[in-house]
Amino acid sequence: MYLRETKRRNADGSVVSYLALAQNERDPGTGVPRARIVHRFGRTDQVDREALARLVRSISRFLDPADAVAAGSGGDGEVSVLDSRTMGACWLADRLWERLGIGETIIQAAGGRRVEGAVVERAIFAMVANRLSVKPLSKLAGCDWVADRAYIDGLAELSDDACYRAMDFLHAALPALQERVFFNVASLLDLEVEMLFFDTSSTYWQTDRLPEELQDDDDREDGDVAPDDGEDGNGGQDDGTLLERGRRAYSKHSKDHRPDLPQVVVGMAVTRQGIPVRVWTFPGNASDQVIIRKVRDDLRGWNLSRVIWVLDRGFTSEQNRRYLQRAGGHYIVGEKLRSGSHEARAALSRQGRYHEVDGGLRVKQVRVDDGTNRDRFVIAHNPERAVRDQIVREQILARLRLEIAAADKLTANKRAELYGALSTKPAFNRFLRKTKTGKLRIDRSAVAREAKLDGKYLLRTSDESLSAEDIALGYKALYEAERGWRDLKSTIDMRPVYHRRDDRIESHVQLCWLALLLLRVTETETQDTWRNLRNELDRMHLVTLRPAREPCPSAPS
């Protein structure tokens, strides 16, 4: 397809030219190429040149920037493209990096160490910026990305050795960096830091050693220090490295469906706006008591005036709750209404009237314990969740009816085998009962009890100053932590992790945290998703051009 100019001579001898968008097509009969007019622009002297310019810009959107420049040059050798590098996402990340004081903090932490602060800072930023690219790369491939494909201010090239040295430095400078970043972000965005949301997830790292080979870790690199038998600082005994303790998580259920690889637990604290303020790394077999105490003690040193922890149902033990109350702290945790616990039964038995809050959510406050360490309970009812719970229950009952439809025709032994098989499935076991004669039936009383719990969840708090609405909406905002996990594992691609040393595994997680921090701050400031922003930013390229040489003047005769 091309722009075609045709000329016509008038009777008075004047020449008029016309522009049209044409396309060559081969005549199916004769095989001779013929021009087919797609669109006529009219006379050349009357054509809307601004419209043509808009058309060119529109077409250039779908071209590589270097190709667009070359196409715009007319293809007559006026200019040649030497290099083209993407720079939009890296440029934006670098401006935020500077605005949040991350680079300055890294350079200051390098003072007195045997590293060059500016070089280490650029290497760390390059690894973080790569996590924000379309497809995050390994350290080695990331070096090629810096050298050939991306423009990072102040960094022309990068080696994998420099990346590993920067990761080792990051691990050592992490405490000061995390605190500085937290207060810089809180001040910049005017964040509410009185309520922090904490959640955990698990991930795995790659290893070429078989599980039975992990029992001995005698191949440490030079400079690695073997763990001692003292306290590990996490509230429990130090049983070895992450690799050794991650191996003990093999037998546990792997959320990532990779029980063949060692696991680590990653904890993340976010603000109400979803800004990740800190990330922790724990061995795969770390208990919730170890995790919550380590997190609480680390943030206690930041001298926050008042913190209310919002936690998922995995941290509801009494020991965890009381530990969070030390030094004036408070918590909001979710409880299972179907757990059959004393608090759940007592809360459901209390009378009270629901009142509606934001988004159709209904809440009711109840008192269960009047003791010294009494807690407040709030029953929240979400109508949308209630509809979903009803649909799921009806689907389970429909499948269960199909399973037991022909059970009456089976022998007693076969019915017993079927009952045993169905009882192993929690979804079926809740609604299945056996009659005195051994027949299998739907437990209608259990169905009625479950229907009363549709859309309801129980919340517990130690703070007397919060209203029932604040408690319910605060727990609902725990979604921000879950959103952070989705971005870490999809957009930023925290996996795969190929490191073996403890400090580098932790540094890899912290690099992903810094990338998530920049991503979330950008989304908060622009009120748009990173995917949409990156699609626009990828159109920005740094193009190196070389103009053609001017023709040499003719030699004098």
For 404-428, write each residue's pLDDT tens digit. Answer: 998 999 999 999 999 999 999 988 9
- When the pLDDT of each residue in the chain is averaged and rounded to a whole number, the result is 80
**Structural domain contains residue 68:** yes
Residue that finishes a domain, picked among 434, 451, 468: 451
In whole angstroms, what separates CA 71 from the centre of its chain?
39
What digits encode the pLDDT tens for the residues 163-215? 999 999 998 888 888 888 888 888 877 777 777 888 888 888 776 554 444 44
Count of domains forming the chain: 3
**Structural domain contains residue 178:** no
Q: Is the pLDDT of residue 232 over 50?
A: no
**Concatenated DSSP letters of 212-253:** GGGG----PPTT-----SSB-SSSSB--S-HHHHHHTTTTSP
pTM (2 decimals)?
0.71
What digits encode the pLDDT tens for the residues 455-468? 888 888 888 888 88
CB neighbour list of residue 465: distance below 8 Å, 6 or more residues apart: none
Q: Is the pLDDT of residue 230 over 90?
A: no
Task: Tell me the H-state helices in 313-443.
Answer: 318-324, 342-349, 383-404, 412-423, 426-429
Q: For residue 151, which amino acid is it?
A: Y
Going by DSSP bridges, is the β-strand pair 330-335/308-311 parallel, antiparallel, or unpaired?
parallel
In whole angstroms, what separates CA 466 from the centre of its chain?
30
Please give the pLDDT value at position 357: 80
Q: Is the pLDDT of residue 75 over 80?
A: no
Per-residue pLDDT band for 41 (boundaries 50, 70, 90) equals confident
- Residue 517 near residue 181 (C-beta atoms within 8 A): yes
**Structural domain contains residue 132:** no
Distance CA 142, CA 130 (A): 7
Distance CA 259, CA 261 (A): 6
CB-based burial, 194-233: b 16+ in 10 Å, e otherwise? ebbbbbbbbbbbebeeeeeebeebeeeeeeeeeeeeeebe
Q: Within this chain, do residues 393 and 443 fall inside the same structural domain, yes or no?
A: yes
What digits encode the pLDDT tens for the residues 257-274? 677 778 888 999 888 888
**Structural domain contains residue 42:** yes
**Concatenated DSSP letters of 532-545:** HHHHHHTT-EEEEE
Q: Within this chain, do residues 61 and 40 fall inside the same structural domain, yes or no?
A: no
**Structural domain contains residue 441:** yes
- Residue 265 near residue 246 (C-beta atoms within 8 A): no
Token pair, residue 296, equals: 């609480």
Lowest-confidence segment of 14-23, 73-82, 492-501 by average pLDDT: 73-82
Please give the pLDDT value at position 458: 86
Q: Is the pLDDT of residue 247 over 80?
A: no
Residue that finishes a domain, picked among 394, 423, 451: 451
Distance CA 187, CA 358 (A): 28
Distance CA 480, CA 463 (A): 22
Which residue did the predictor score with more confidence, 110 or 129?
Answer: 129
Which residue did the predictor score with more confidence, 20 or 233?
Answer: 20
Going by DSSP bridges, is the β-strand pair 376-381/432-434 parallel, antiparallel, or unpaired?
unpaired
**Structural domain contains residue 28:** yes
DSSP H/E element including 182: helix 160-189
Lowest-confidence segment of 78-87, 301-310, 414-423, 503-512 by average pLDDT: 301-310
Q: Within this chain, do residues 65 and 20 fall inside the same structural domain, yes or no?
A: no
Token pair, residue 474, equals: 């605060």
Across the range 429-445, mean pLDDT stands at 92
Which residue did the predictor score with more confidence, 334 or 392?
Answer: 392
Q: Within this chain, do residues 447 and 395 fall inside the same structural domain, yes or no?
A: yes
Please give the pLDDT value at position 519: 94
**Structural domain contains residue 143:** no
Residue that finishes a domain, picked among 451, 466, 497: 451
Which residue did the predictor score with more confidence, 355 or 509?
Answer: 509
| CB-neighbour burial class of residue 542 (10 A; exposed 0-12, middle 13-18, buried 19+) | middle
Q: Tokens 């299972």 label which residue? A: 336
- Provide the domain limits for residue 7: 1-47
Q: Within this chain, do residues 43 and 56 fall inside the same structural domain, yes or no?
A: no
Beta bridge partners of 203: 264
Helix/strand/coil for 96:
helix
Q: Report in angstroms the alpha-carbon separations of 546 from 56, 150, 550.
A: 22, 20, 12
Per-residue pLDDT band for 510 (boundaries 50, 70, 90) equals very high
Per-residue pLDDT band for 105 (boundaries 50, 70, 90) equals confident
Q: Is the pLDDT of residue 83 over 60?
A: yes
Please give the pLDDT value at position 294: 87
| CB-neighbour burial class of residue 433 (10 A; exposed 0-12, middle 13-18, buried 19+) | middle
Please give the pLDDT value at position 419: 92
CB neighbour list of residue 369: distance below 8 Å, 6 or more residues apart: 343, 375
Q: Within this chain, do residues 42 and 53 fall inside the same structural domain, yes or no?
A: no
Q: Within this chain, do residues 43 and 55 fall inside the same structural domain, yes or no?
A: no
Q: Report in angstroms the alpha-carbon separations of 3 from 40, 56, 454, 499, 502.
A: 10, 11, 66, 56, 62
Token pair, residue 524, equals: 């908060």
Please give the pLDDT value at position 305: 63
- Residue 197 near residue 272 (C-beta atoms within 8 A): yes
Beta bridge partners of 15: 9
- Note if the bond before 556 is cis, omega within 30 degrees: no
Percentage above 90 pLDDT, the chain: 22
Across the range 469-474, mean pLDDT stands at 83
**Structural domain contains residue 478:** no
In whole angstroms, what separates CA 105 from the centre of its chain?
25
Beta bridge partners of 332: 310, 461
Task: Tell me the H-state helices in 61-144.
Answer: 65-72, 88-99, 102-109, 117-131, 139-144
Q: Is the pLDDT of residue 80 over 80?
A: no
Please give the pLDDT value at position 548: 61
Helix/strand/coil for 48:
coil
Q: Is the pLDDT of residue 556 over 70?
A: no
Q: Within this chain, do residues 14 and 60 fall inside the same structural domain, yes or no?
A: no
Per-residue pLDDT band for 226 (boundaries 50, 70, 90) equals very low
Using CA atoms of 313, 315, 317, 320 in order, give the dihedral in degrees to the nearest 10.
Answer: -150
Token pair, residue 434, equals: 């056996």
Nearest to 291 by CA among 201, 161, 393: 201
Q: Within this chain, do residues 437 and 388 fall inside the same structural domain, yes or no?
A: yes
Q: Within this chain, do residues 54 and 42 fall inside the same structural domain, yes or no?
A: no
What digits encode the pLDDT tens for the residues 318-346? 788 878 877 567 888 887 777 666 777 77
Specify which of 369-378, 392-401, 497-506, 547-556 reaches the highest per-range mean pLDDT: 392-401
CB neighbour list of residue 337: distance below 8 Å, 6 or more residues apart: 344, 347, 348, 453, 456, 457, 458
Sheet holding 15-26, edge to edge: 2-9, 15-26, 33-43
